Amino acid sequence: MNQKHIYFFLILLLCITIWQRSALAGADSSPEIILKIGEGQALIAGKTFQLTAAPVIQNEITLVPLRFIAEGLKAEVMWEQDTKKIFIIAPGKEIQLEAGKNEAVINGNPQPLVSPPVIIENSSLVPLRFISEALGAHVSYLPQTKEIHIVLSLTLTPPPPPPNQPPVASFSFAKTVFDQGETVEYIDSSYDPDGDKIIAWEWTGKKRAFFMPGVNRVTLRVQDSHKAWSEPFHAIITITNQVLMDELTYNFTYPVPGELLDMAQIPVLGLQVVNPVNTEEGSEKVFLSNSPEIITGDGILFTENILGPARICYHHLNGTTANKYVYLVATNNGSEPEQIIIGKQGTGGPGEAMYTGRTAVYRYFASGSLPPVTIQPGERKIFYTSAPIHAGQCIDGLFDIKTNHTILFSVVAAESPDFLSDYELTVLLPEDEEHSRGIFPVGSRFVSVKLDKHEKSRLIIADGKDDLGNTENEYGVLYEITIEAKYKTGVILVARGGVFEGAGKWDNQLVYLPSAGMLKPSINGALIDVLLPGERKTLSFIPPSGSFLPVNLVFIPITTPSS
């Protein structure tokens, strides 16, 4: 072979190599699909296509047209008219969907969907993240252009899932200028570019209505199912000088239990005190462990025998630098097995003192009974173990229990349950000088109030004096307050002894008091509800640990006596 032939052969070989590499590169690549929310056109490999239905956001889930995406990713789509099922066929994969059903079947294996397929303009739309990941595609979102980019990977090994992109918070008002006392309509348009479900909303400055003229800024952050938070989104709303309703009138017209109200203009202490028409006490006692309130070392915080019904209440703060646990321990010193009946129960924390107190009360009212616990003669058993309490954190607990024979209950602070092996060496920690521990005789009070006069009035709760309560202790005591009004009347909980965060049950509806923030004496109150003439409802309430007492129920007639 001469030199000319050798050159020709080498050039031919080089061309063939370049062609093969180009072909392989083409086989391993996939055209990019680009869509925009709400737009009826999309791009595949730079070429424009008309969509039968535009991508939409429903319930914070991004939905995309199934057939367009699947066929763009080299899959085949079939519709079965009789069963209303959708079949997607791709290499090594068969996907089955059904309109309105929150489940997909992939190669015979059921898989939940964050949102079911929906039919819009005769097209099936499905969650973006599901269809993309099911067909092995990468999804990315460009916030600058608000574009969704989808690229199919044809590599033999599946690529790692793309990093989660945070959701996007967005909202608007029905209009930007409102009068005082006019209901503000918020239009939430938040979404997640990956198609994940939004699970939490954090508003700042949001109100049902505003009652002062001026400019207000409202902020929203949202969280997706991967616990990622969005950037804050801000919007401005302007309130005019025109007054449609003042704050009390608005909230009495559209009552929401727990709503925080401005009470600065109402002289609560000058209002007439209502005397209950009936007051009764329950048979259960209160086992209170609150001294020493601050844990300074391992030991027994309080211990006492219980016979019959009782409500165990404890409230302690970790004053050490090490993690601590609070244990509720039961000891049977008798000669017979004993069953401990467990009724309602609620725990709060570890966390800030007022928050844990109100959480324990809320969970108490939300709970039901638990299976009884059997304890053998001579047995000592850990009845409850708290979560680890870090330095400076607080813990709360409420437990309704009943025994037929005497059982010794103890609240113990320790770093581990190992203290049980040397329990007899566990020291009883001394009381502090500010708080209480002991067995108190009154565990519940049943109060009936009848409002016949057309005047503002108040009922004093948990001051240990004017409400005829137990002067030694009010924490852990259940109040059942039944109220009947002759006139249409607003009922408001007002703090008097100091800052307050609580919870209760109003007419069998659980409610935080207030629903957000805290009550400050002489400044604000928490709306309970509005009673109609002749209506009779009951407030169930336990003074929460960590908050100050007493509190007042304030009654404000809304209608004239003639009505």
The confidence band for 465, taking pLDDT boundaries of 50, 70 and 90, is low
The confidence band for 162, taking pLDDT boundaries of 50, 70 and 90, is low
Return the number of other C-beta atoms located less than 10 Å from residue 114's C-beta.
17
The confidence band for 424, taking pLDDT boundaries of 50, 70 and 90, is confident
How high is the pLDDT of residue 21?
35
The confidence band for 157, taking pLDDT boundaries of 50, 70 and 90, is very low
How high is the pLDDT of residue 240?
97
The confidence band for 160, taking pLDDT boundaries of 50, 70 and 90, is low
Mean pLDDT to the nearest integer, 246-258: 93
- Strands 551-557, 233-243: parallel, antiparallel or unpaired by DSSP? unpaired
Instruction: Determine which helix (DSSP H) or strand (DSSP E) holds 7, and give its type and residue range.
Output: helix 3-28
How high is the pLDDT of residue 255?
94
Q: What SS3 class is residue 519?
A: strand
How high is the pLDDT of residue 563?
45
Is the pTM here over 0.85, yes or no? Answer: no
The pLDDT of residue 397 is above 50: yes
Q: What is the pLDDT of residues 308-354, one digit of tens each?
A: 999 999 999 999 999 999 999 999 999 999 999 999 999 999 999 99
203 versus 133: the higher-pLDDT residue is 203
**What proportion of the chain, given as a percentage, has pLDDT over 70?**
90
Q: Is-contact 397 389, C-beta < 8 A?
A: no
Residue type, 421: S
Return the number of other C-beta atoms located less than 10 Å from residue 131's C-beta.
27
The pLDDT of residue 266 is above 60: yes
Measured CA to CA, the distance from residue 173 to residue 60 in angstroms comes to 18
Which of 13-27, 189-203, 522-536 is least confident?
13-27
How high is the pLDDT of residue 196?
83
Burial 450-480 (b: 16+ CB within 10 A, else e): bbeeeebbbbbbbbeeebebbeebbbbbbbb
How high is the pLDDT of residue 15?
42
The pLDDT of residue 122 is above 90: no
| Closest among 283, 336, 319, 363 to 542, alpha carbons compared | 363
Which of 35-39, 351-355, 385-389 is least confident?
35-39
Measured CA to CA, the distance from residue 499 to residue 18 in angstroms comes to 78
Give the start-end residues of each E strand in 174-298: 177-180, 186-188, 198-204, 214-224, 233-243, 260-262, 272-273, 278-281, 285-289, 294-295
The pLDDT of residue 203 is above 60: yes
How high is the pLDDT of residue 20?
35
How high is the pLDDT of residue 87?
87
**484 to 406, 532, 560: CA distances (angstroms):** 41, 9, 17
Mean pLDDT to the nearest integer, 442-446: 93
Mean pLDDT to the nearest integer, 212-238: 95
How high is the pLDDT of residue 303?
96
Q: Is-contact 309 443, C-beta < 8 A?
A: yes
The confidence band for 150, taking pLDDT boundaries of 50, 70 and 90, is confident
Q: Is-contact 411 438, C-beta < 8 A?
A: no
The pLDDT of residue 493 is above 90: yes
pLDDT, mean over the chain: 87
Instruction: Determine which helix (DSSP H) or strand (DSSP E) holds 385, and give its type and residue range.
Output: strand 380-385
The pLDDT of residue 426 is above 60: yes
Q: What is the pLDDT of residues 279-293, one digit of tens each?
A: 888 899 999 999 999
User: Alpha-carbon Rg of the chain, whole angstroms?
Assistant: 33
Q: What is the pLDDT of residues 506-563, one digit of tens each?
A: 999 999 999 988 999 989 999 999 999 999 999 999 999 999 999 999 999 997 665 4
How high is the pLDDT of residue 99?
80
Measured CA to CA, the distance from residue 147 to residue 190 in angstroms comes to 15
Measured CA to CA, the distance from residue 219 to residue 186 in angstroms comes to 12
How high is the pLDDT of residue 119?
82
How high is the pLDDT of residue 148?
84
Q: What is the pLDDT of residues 76-114, one digit of tens each?
A: 888 877 777 888 888 888 898 888 888 888 888 888 888
- Strands 444-451, 278-281: parallel, antiparallel or unpaired by DSSP? antiparallel
Q: What is the pLDDT of residues 299-311, one digit of tens each?
A: 999 999 999 999 9
Q: In the structure encoding, which two tokens stand for residue 233, read together?
A: 């989104």
**What proportion of the chain, given as a percentage, has pLDDT over 90?**
59
The pLDDT of residue 17 is above 70: no
The confidence band for 14, taking pLDDT boundaries of 50, 70 and 90, is very low
Output the CA torsion 258→472→450→269 (10° steps).
Answer: -70
